[in-house]
Amino acid sequence: MMHRIYGLVSGPLAWAAFILFFGGSLYRLISMAVLARRKDPVVYEYMSLRFALRSLVHWVLPFASLNMRRKPLTTLVGFAFHLCLLAAPVFLLAHVILWKEYWNVSWWNLPDGVVDFMTVIVMAGCLFFFVRRLVLPEVRFLTGPSDFAILAVAAAPFVTGFWAYHQLPGHEIMGIVHMVSGEILLAAIPFTRLSHMLFFPFTRAYMGSEFGGVRHARDW
């Protein structure tokens, strides 16, 4: 029974998740490009590589913007969280081996101990953002059930992966849950607020070009 479930999760469900991720991401990016042109016909005319890169550099460096310096704890947690969220699954040896087995592509990996520590950072970050949404009035006012659901979707693959890796009670079942939760996360990215990971470079390019080339001001 477990073997058949594993076959389903590692086969058809995995393919469905990748198709939804890549297909959904392409659809959202094309839709955004078309919508931007429709709402602002000259949007691409005043896009500037210089100001776009200037904005991107300032927003991917910790404490480079005024708002980051005003909230140092949130900035530190946010950067550590996002870095580990992206790097841990990509450079985990077990995942690299799976890519090699299924698609015959591979890349270097991080030591398991490093990825384990990064997993803890992601889980702690999710807890931090959960508490922040409950405690800070200005954040709580803007928080809805979907925000907690997204946090849960982001946290689940790391919690279950940590559980399975350390072989805690029920780790065999948790390994299956880990795979399913990872596929749910991957498929959800284009269709939820997690899509900001796709739109971030284009949003910053637009803002940087408008502020730098049109308003002659900084956007950080």
**Total domains, the chain:** 1
Closest by Cα among 217, 207, 163 to 55: 207
Domain residues for 166? 2-214
Report if residue 219 sits inside a domain: no
Per-residue pLDDT of the chain (220 residues; tens, 9 = 90+): 778 898 899 889 999 999 999 999 999 999 999 998 888 887 888 888 899 999 999 899 999 888 899 999 999 999 999 999 999 999 999 999 989 988 889 999 999 999 999 999 999 999 999 999 999 999 999 899 999 999 999 999 999 999 999 999 999 999 999 999 999 999 999 999 999 999 999 999 988 998 888 888 888 7
Check: CB of residue 148 under 8 Å from CB of residue 123. no
Residue 124 lies in a domain: yes
CA angle, 47 then 53 then 55, to 5°: 90
* CATH number (domain holding residue 121): 1.20.950
User: Coil, helix or strand for 109?
Assistant: coil
> pTM of the prediction?
0.90
CA distance 210 to 108: 39
